Structure 1
């Protein structure tokens, strides 16, 4: 039986494929399944053409969401809780009991990011070479154990050592999740998924406040409240690490929960991303392309600029609220709406970016509320007489966390090639670590209640982020024009439809195969493990 007969029989047996044009099937059949990506090897070994209908796409997306998202949501929630536990326990005697002086508390907030900065290049290599699911599971186990050990620290030296180890093991989390989203989802789906796991920061600010409030009331003759918080959070993390190791698959290529052709379809539905999935091969030419790519340094500058206020406010947020005239327990409770605003802003902006298929305008727009909020915090005296206005300013400032996942998604959607993706992500998180190191050190406990230097620097950074977002949109426009000229030069159409950004509704309306290739062969190089600058078919998104 010929390949064409196989295709026709498959179409006849599945009425859901009736709307797919014969020309689309022939185009897919004619595609080259070449390259070093593991996806290309699996498709080549399958020996038959794989067509992904909109119905297939929807079914597989649901299966992937149910398996992948719960795990990464819980892990990021635990990581955020563990990392920010320092800010919560700061008002329960940690500073006094461990005799912290001067900038020592600020350095406890910053040392986590020093460790992350140091380890990002190594993490990038590990993400290419090691099975992602097992790797992140082991890291979760180690950081949970470290947090438990942190309860035994009695002074600045002990806290610094355990916080450095905490940062070392947590350094892998966000880069791994960016990689997971890239390898499992179409580009149109990535922004909402990145926002979903990042929104756990908001959940942590709510649940963490409640948890700390409850644990802070626990009476113990041998343990201080902050030690109880460290032990409780660490124990939960250690337990969940085994769930990650057992249930998180390493990639679509090796996923056991996808049966039959669904594994092949989960790969083919990503063809028009033009990004590949996983190669397991470290490529120095990708490193060179990443280093010479202006986009790489745009992402670096953007994430550094937003991380500076993020690092400062994350570490000093509860202390700032306390200057409004609240006691320790009231401070914890009044920090909860900050998390709720974070959560809504993160998911809402992701929905808007997906709907409008643009991230740069939203990044600029999201800078406006924190600019207003910080301006108010700088102008109004921090005392009980102005609580309502100060809380309002603090809460509208809390919109800023929605910016980071948009930058992750903007970077991830505009980078191709396994090694280049991991290297670019490493540069991104090095920038975030730099910002998070600088941020807390712009605040001093001796500058309470106004914290003038920290707030002024944060205001400047939000303005800079808005400017960089506009510059990034201009760069993307220029790169798309360059690729249009390249396509014309090799005999392809200048303008092509980007199916990786097509919505489910559009695909069902048009009856198109999700992995359809046009007559010019756009998409045939998707699994050749090419960098985006080297693939004329790659379409950049705004």
Structure 2
């Protein structure tokens, strides 16, 4: 297959000189109507997609793996004696786990602005160096106060990671391609759980009485690996198609044309305050944030207390570490599998709702076994493994949010709110579990059941809102003299040129929000 592509203009896409975009936003927000439309063949589409995966996706996977490892390893550190060595009492370990989300919430207003205004290559590399340094410095913590301070700054520097990665995915991929790409970089959460367990098993066998505590060695190892990933981001990441160093000028034009059907733009460094008001007025903003809170409350339980829960089932610390390996593998399988189904059948709401069922069943099994007076290890472990389904939800929600949001500032702000919701869930989840409720944490499991049930309701409500918004856009198109129904080629499995009639698609590459673009089609 050829790696170089040639431009092929659409025969019927020429537009007369001097045409203007009719929209409530200014002309510079939309792509000029006289822009030449191009035909992208399936071969050209695959060449560009392959190059994008090679340079953008692989880098995102490596960097997100390191970020996930830095968060996941706290539970393993606790098994290695962190609480005992730092003399943590009561809810102090829960607060150590929760301080990162507090930092992320505090940083999100700045993150939303920086993601738009600062070049991605510079921002990502800087953040990697800063959070890798904090993870390494964690080995110097010698008290509750010091570990709280270090983990606060760790959370601060990690706060822009997920919004930044999500924006990049939206700017480089068609909407049909996004769920699986999000799953592949987000799925490294599962790999991080496996590696943290492997590292923990190794450090657990270190002899006592050495110059470092076992958990300190794990902190140095993870921090050092993170710092090594910074040059990769610097040399491989490009923020937009126009800045891509790995594409020729002809390929850049075709790569942008590939994204036309998304109707979500191709990136902008202008922060538009008016788009913030639209976020506040958009009902789906509140639903997406609500789902994020619920998902991450459930996920935080397994991240912070998973190893401890297994240990309290009667396994020693060595076996407890190893039993987290299947859990991590399940995470990865469910993340990729659920997103593949969402991409294959062009629907995210149904897989997102279905994933709540095993979570609900798992928490019920742990609850009933814990209250039975005769806890059976096999059933309890099976119930715990079912909770891995919650990790399949976040990539689906991120892809759902991105696909249904237009406008660079609006997207960045909504992703920042998503991160606030995720952080709030990460605070809420561990707080449900108190040391006095060990070994089975019955009150916390009761809270889990409510969380997973509430998420089902929120997903259903979001689906209804998107149906209503699509009806609203159809009425707008009719009023503007456009077709009521538009074929959404961005969700097609095979690439198709979008609206090659010279009428539709003129605003698609501009920085317009989904409310301001009457051709926007919401996806379920």
The offset of 1:515, in angstroms, is: 4.0
* Partner of residue 282, structure 1: 271
Report the count of equivalent residues. Answer: 513
Q: How does 1:322-361 map to 2 (within 5 A)?
A: 322-361=311-350
Conserved? CA contact 1:377–1:394, under 8 Å: yes
Q: 2:455 aligns with which of 465, 469, 483?
A: 465
The offset of 1:527, in angstroms, is: 2.4
Which SS does the other structure have where 1:257 is aligned? coil
CA distance in 2, matches of 1:339, 1:230: 19
* Partner of residue 11, structure 2: 25
1:416 aligns with 2:406: yes
Conserved? CA contact 1:187–1:413, under 8 Å: yes
Conserved? CA contact 2:302–2:387, under 8 Å: no
* Partner of residue 484, structure 1: 474
CA distance in 2, matches of 1:150, 1:137: 20
Q: How does 1:90-489 map to 2 (within 5 A)?
A: 90-219=78-207, 221-381=210-370, 386-489=376-479
Change (3 A) 1:402 1:466: same
Output the TM-score relative to the length of structure 2: 0.94
CA distance in 1, matches of 2:401, 2:239: 22
CA distance in 2, matches of 1:472, 1:28: 39
Conserved? CA contact 1:116–1:168, under 8 Å: yes
CA distance in 1, matches of 2:162, 2:228: 20
| C-alpha distance after superposition, 1:49-89 (max 9, x if no partner) | 43222221111011100111111111111111111211101
Conserved? CA contact 1:16–1:55, under 8 Å: no
The offset of 1:40, in angstroms, is: 4.5
The offset of 1:444, in angstroms, is: 0.7
The offset of 1:27, in angstroms, is: 2.5
Change (3 A) 1:317 1:284: same
The offset of 1:48, in angstroms, is: 5.3
* Partner of residue 76, structure 1: 64
Q: 2:500 aligns with which of 508, 517, 531?
A: 517
Q: 1:85 aligns with which of 73, 90, 103?
A: 73
| C-alpha distance after superposition, 1:473-519 (max 9, x if no partner) | 11111111111111111111001100111112xx4xxxx4x344335
CA distance in 2, matches of 1:202, 1:276: 31
CA distance in 1, matches of 2:191, 2:309: 20
The offset of 1:243, in angstroms, is: 1.5
Conserved? CA contact 2:400–2:523, under 8 Å: yes
Alignment gaps of 5+ in structure 1: 1-13
CA distance in 1, matches of 2:513, 2:322: 48
CA distance in 2, matches of 1:462, 1:286: 32
Conserved? CA contact 2:287–2:462, under 8 Å: yes
CA distance in 2, matches of 1:438, 1:86: 17
Change (3 A) 1:33 1:317: farther
The offset of 1:312, in angstroms, is: 2.0
CA distance in 1, matches of 2:466, 2:248: 38
* Partner of residue 63, structure 1: 51
CA distance in 2, matches of 1:306, 1:332: 24
CA distance in 2, matches of 1:295, 1:27: 35
The offset of 1:306, in angstroms, is: 1.2
CA distance in 1, matches of 2:126, 2:196: 24
* Partner of residue 7, structure 1: none
Alignment gaps of 5+ in structure 2: 22-26
Conserved? CA contact 1:36–1:527, under 8 Å: no
1:498 aligns with 2:497: no
1:538 aligns with 2:520: yes
Conserved? CA contact 2:259–2:509, under 8 Å: no
Conserved? CA contact 2:13–2:36, under 8 Å: no
Which SS does the other structure have where 2:142 is aligned? coil
